[in-house]
Copies of this chain bind each other. A is one copy, B any other.
Amino acid sequence: MVSLRRFVSRESTVLEEAMREDLSEALKGNDLLLVEVIEYALYSGGKRIRPLLAILSARVCGRMDMTVYRLASAFEYLHVATLIHDDVIDNAMERRGRPSVVKQYGLAAAILAGDWLHARSMYLVGRYGGREGLEVFCRSTTGMVDGEFLQLRYVADCDVTEKQYFDVIHRKTALLIESTCEIGAMFGGAGKTERTALATYGHKLGIAFQVVDDLLDYLGETSSTGKKTGNDFVEGKITLPLIHAMNSSDKQVREVLMRLYESDRDDPEAFGRVFEIIDKNNGFISARHAAESMVDGAVEALEVFSGCDDQESLAMLRSLAAYVVERNR
C-alpha cells in the first residue's frame, strides 16, 4: 500500500491539473490581474487536505470517476477564499512563508479574488453535488461566518469556556471539513449511514485540526509552519491550551493571565510569560490529548467502511487523521 505522502503527491498532481482546467475555462477572457491573483492564491504550497477528503469520501462510498476532482476543487477554492478574507481582516502580511494576497496585491484585489473563488466554489458544488450538496455546503459557509463573529465576540475574554471554544472552532473550521466529507459521500452515492459516518469523521477531524493549529501557534517552528508563533495571543484569541491552563490553576495565576491578555498583548515578553504558565499547568499536553481523542473518534466513525472495496482510500482516511495530530505545519 502506498504511503500517505506518496498518495498525497499523486492525487495533488491530478487535482491541480483539474483546477487548472477549471480556471482556464472560468477565467477565459478575464482581466489578467484577476487571473494572476487567483493563481497566486491557489498555488502556494497548500496541503490540499480538503479536496483529498472529498475524493476519498467519494471513493470509500464506491465512486471512482474523474469528475470528483472538479467537485473537490470547490473545497480548496472556498478554503483559500476564506484565508484571503481572513488575512484582510487580520491585516496579516504573510501566509505560508510568502506575502499574503492582501500584502502582495492590495485590499481591493484581495476582497474581490476571495469573492471570485467563493462564487466559483458554489458553482462547482451546485454542478457536481446537486441541490442537496449545495444546501449542505451553504450551511457550512454561512456557519463559518457566524463562527468568525463568535470569535470576535470572545476576543481577549478570559472567561471563555471550553464549550464556547469548541463551538467557535466547530463553526469556523470543522463545518467546512464536515461538509467536504459529507458532500464527497453524497457524490459517491452514499446511503444515510455512510453519509452520517463521513460527516462525523469530518467533524471530529476538523475539530482536531483546529486544536492542533492552535497548539502550533504556541509550539510550531516558523521554519515549518511559515508563521510566527504567538499570533493568537497578539490577536487576543483564547484557545484550548490557555483554557485548560486557566481551569487547572489558582485564582492568582488566572488574574495574571487576564492582565496579560487585557493590556500586554503587544509585548513579546508577555507572550513568554503566558507560554510558561500554560506549560507549567499542562495546558499544551491536555490540549494535545483532546486533539488525539477527537482523532480517535474520527477513525472510529470509519468503522462502517471496514468491508468497503477500496481499502486503500479507507487507509488514507485513517492516515490523514493520524497526520492531523502529528503534523508540524
**Interface residues, chain A, CB within 8 Å of chain B?**
26, 30-31, 33-34, 85, 88-89, 107-109, 111-116, 118-120, 122-123, 126-127, 130-131, 134-135, 138, 141-142, 145-146, 148-150, 152-153
Contacts and interface: CB of A to CB of B under 8 A. Distances in A.
A14 to B, nearest CB: 24
A113 B30 contact: no
Contacts of A146: 30-31, 34, 116
A101 to B, nearest CB: 13
21 contacts: A31-B146, A33-B149, A33-B153, A34-B149, A88-B107, A89-B107, A109-B149, A114-B115, A116-B145, A119-B122, A119-B138, A119-B145, A120-B138, A122-B122, A122-B126, A122-B138, A123-B138, A123-B142, A126-B126, A127-B131, A127-B134
A123 B134 contact: yes
Contacts of A148: 108, 112
Given A31-B149, A34-B146, 11 more contacts: A89-B108, A108-B148, A111-B111, A115-B115, A116-B146, A119-B141, A122-B134, A126-B134, A126-B135, A127-B135, A134-B134
A115 B89 CA distance: 13
A33 to B, nearest CB: 6
A30 B108 contact: no
A279 to B, nearest CB: 31
Nearest to A138: B123
B149 A30 contact: yes
Contacts of A112: 85, 89, 145, 148-149
Contact of A88 (B26, B30, B111): B111
Nearest to A113: B145
Contacts of A149: 30-31, 33-34, 109, 112
Contacts of A88: 107, 111
Contacts of A126: 122, 126, 131, 134-135, 138
